[in-house]
Amino acid sequence: MNYPGYTLVRREDCPEQHGVLTVLKHDVSGAAVLLVENEDTNKAFGIGFGTFPSDDTGVFHILEHSVRLSNIFSLKDILFSLSIPFSFCSGG
């Protein structure tokens, strides 16, 4: 198979997915792409990216969750939850 704009990294049969797995590298950005090619009619995709912190304060991790949860809760709800540290984890 030819994927213009991508370099083939690896391709192999995958019986668990009833198809072929292909790993590509985007020539411009260097992003890794995993293709699952099979006869499944459910066509889906996912995107992931690394967020590398510059320190160990945890701020970036909190922001990741805030962005992810902003579609479900208002920002006010998220900040209120964060102001009561770990009460939801300790059963309190």
Phi then psi dihedrals of residue 66, to 5 deg? -65, -45
pLDDT at 23 over 70: yes
Of 2-11, 26-35, 39-48, 65-74, least confident by mean pLDDT is: 65-74
Average pLDDT over residues 10-32: 90
The pTM of the whole model exceeds 0.85:
no
- The DSSP call for residue 84 is S
Least Cα distance to 24 among 46, 2, 43 occurs for 2
